[in-house]
Every structure is written in structure tokens, then in C-alpha cells.
Amino acid sequence: MVKPEQSASVLKQGRVEVRDVSKIFMDASGGAIEALTPVTLDVAPGEFVSLVGPSGCGKSTLLRMISGLDVPTSGRLYLDGQEILGPHYERGLMFQDPTLYPWLTVEKNIAIGLEARKLHKKREEVREMIKLVGLEGFEQAFPFQLSGGMAQRAAMARALVNHPRVLLLDEPLGALDAFTRMQMQEELLRIWQDRSTTMLFVTHDIDEAVYLSDRIVVMASRPGRIKEIVPVSMGRPRARNHPDFFRLRTKILEILNFVHDEPSGYQI
């Protein structure tokens, strides 16, 4: 059982600091692609932060550097004050494609993500995750027997099985139909509230960002950069048809230059 003094320290985990981080890639002809100009971002422990912006503005690049899969050209990144120098189980990852092994059952797909330190508790940990994502009864199913939403739940369980301090989600719901997507948004919020894991969530769906986030990082491209950070002060659960929801959505579209000054009106 977690003692009160322990729970406070658990909650303090998951602070992400991105300090003047840039990334330059080379294209095929040796030219420089400025994927990110120096970016600085602080994410508080347990915060839910979304990244939105046009294709190519560096969202995945930023997430990959936080994951440790990629290194910055300049600048530094930290998790709870420790510099990020490579991948680590404390930073969980989830992508648009669930990337499950087709020849393994749900249970084994989740267990395969377990860090060696936890292998002695394998069964217990895997069972807990299956319950958390609502896949009880499907432990022995193979990926081809799952719906898209169920496959993403399994991927979420695999990303969470090591109790990461931060979960990095790159368009995890992007391939789902609209209804499943809204269901999965609820699931994600439930899991986030249950775990207090810091969430960094990339999405192209502005409504999704407004529905889920504490703050929305709006990015711009060429070069990739942070244009504005928008706090979302609405409580939860949020009503998608509330005027405040609509106002915030409009604000983000304006920052992204998607609102026309003289829109053509509708005649009702």
C-alpha cells in the first residue's frame, strides 16, 4: 500500500523539461531541414499536454527526442531533472499503429514490453494492465481477432506496463473511426486520472486536444517551432457543445491561420 508521504513523492514524478532543443536533418541532396528551431517547454508532473500543428512542424521529432530515440542537434532534455540520453522504460511510447506482434496473444504482447526488473511479477503486472485498459476476457486473443480500438488498448497496456513517468503518444487515436475515437478519449482520461502519468499527446484533431488537455502547444512549420501555448481552464468532464469549448477551438484554429476574416455565411 502507498503511504501518504510516499504518494506525494509519486505525484511529483514525470516533469519533462525541454531546453533550447533544436533538430536539423539532412535531406537527400545534403541540404539542411530545420525540423525544430530551439524549443523550450516545461511539462509538470501529471500534466496532460497536447501538441498540434501542421504536418512537418516537428511534433514527432520532439516526441522522439523526449523518448530518447533521437538526439537533439542542440539543447538538452530532462525527465525529473535527469538528462535524457537514450530510450528508457520510464518513458512509454504509443503510435498511430498499435504495432502488436501478430503471432503473440494480447497477454504476451503486453508481457513482452516488461522491463527485466519486473519479470518476476510478470503475471500480476500483465493482469493489472489488462484490467486497466478493459481487455479482460481477451488475454488469449491474437491481434487479428481485435477491433482497431481493442488493438490500441493492448498497445496502451504495453506502453503502461512498466508504470512510465511519462507517456508519449503520437497520434494514437488517428486511425480509429469517430465513435471509437471518442470512446478511447474517455479511456485515456480515465487511465490518466487513475495513474497520474504525465501525458504528451500529438493529435491533428483540435477538438480532441481541447477535450483532453490541460495545455495545448500550437506549433508552426518551416522551421518547426512553438507558436503559442494555450491553457485549457475548463473543468472535466468537458462538454463538446459548450460555448467555452467552441471559443477555445476557434482560438486554436486562429493561431493556426485556419479562420478566414470574411467567412461566407449560411442563410437559415
Ligand X SMILES: Nc1ncnc2c1ncn2[C@@H]1O[C@H](COP(=O)(O)OP(=O)(O)OP(=O)(O)O)[C@@H](O)[C@H]1O
Kindly tell me which of 39 and 146 has the beta carbon lying closer to Mg ion: 39
Sketch the per residue contact string, 2 through 31, with ligand X: x for CB under 6 A, - otherwise. Answer: -----------------------x------
Q: Using the minimum distance from each CB to ligand X, give the nearer residue, 46 or 98.
A: 98
Give the three cell numbers for residue 51: 501538441
Give 222 or 247: the residue with its C-beta nearer to Mg ion.
222
Say if CB 113 and CB 162 are below 8 A apart.
yes
Task: Determine, following the binding rule CB under 6 A, whether residue 58 of this chain makes contact with ligand X.
Answer: yes
Q: Are 63 and 23 in contact (CB under 8 A)?
A: no
Residues in 199-258 at the binding interface with ligand X, rule: CB under 6 A: 224
Query: How far apart (Å, rounded) are the C-alpha atoms in residues 141 and 109?
Result: 10
Binding mask of the shown chain, residues 165 to 204, with x at each position contacting ligand X by CB under 6 A: ----------------------------------------
CB of 46 to Mg ion, least distance (A): 24
Q: Interface with Mg ion by CB under 5 A: which residues?
A: 60
User: How far apart are the C-alpha atoms of 223 and 142, rounded to whole Å?
Assistant: 42
> Closer to Mg ion at the Cβ: 95 or 211?
95
Interface residue with ligand X among 10, 12, 19, 56 (CB under 6 A) is 56
User: Which is nearest to 53 in space by CA: 257, 199, 268, 239?
Assistant: 257
Nearest to 156 by CA among 209, 93, 65, 73: 93
Q: Rounded to whole angstroms, what are the CA distances from 41 to 37, 44, 131, 253? A: 13, 10, 34, 21
Q: What single DSSP character describes residue 139? A: T
- Out of 13, 61, 152, 162, the only residue in the binding site for ligand X (CB under 6 A) is 61
Among ligand X, Mg ion, none, the one that 223 touches (CB under a kind-dependent 5 to 8 A) is none
Contact 54, 34 (CB under 8 A): no
Which residue from 13, 22, 50, 60 is in contact with ligand X, where contact means CB under 6 A? Answer: 60
Minimum gap (Å) between residue 72 Cβ and ligand X: 13
Q: How far apart are CA 152 and CA 175, in angstroms?
A: 10
Please tell me the distance from the alpha carbon of residue 164 to that of residue 153, in angstroms, as a whole number.
16
Site membership for ligand X, residue 35 (CB under 6 A):
yes
CB neighbour list of residue 227: distance below 8 Å, 6 or more residues apart: 53, 218, 219, 220, 255, 256
Q: Of 56-64, 84-92, 190-198, 231-239, which segment contacts ligand X by CB under 6 A?
A: 56-64
Stretch that binds ligand X, among 53-61, 121-129, 190-198, 250-258 (CB under 6 A): 53-61
Q: Can you give the binding site for ligand X, defined by CB under 6 A?
A: 25, 33, 35, 55-61, 224
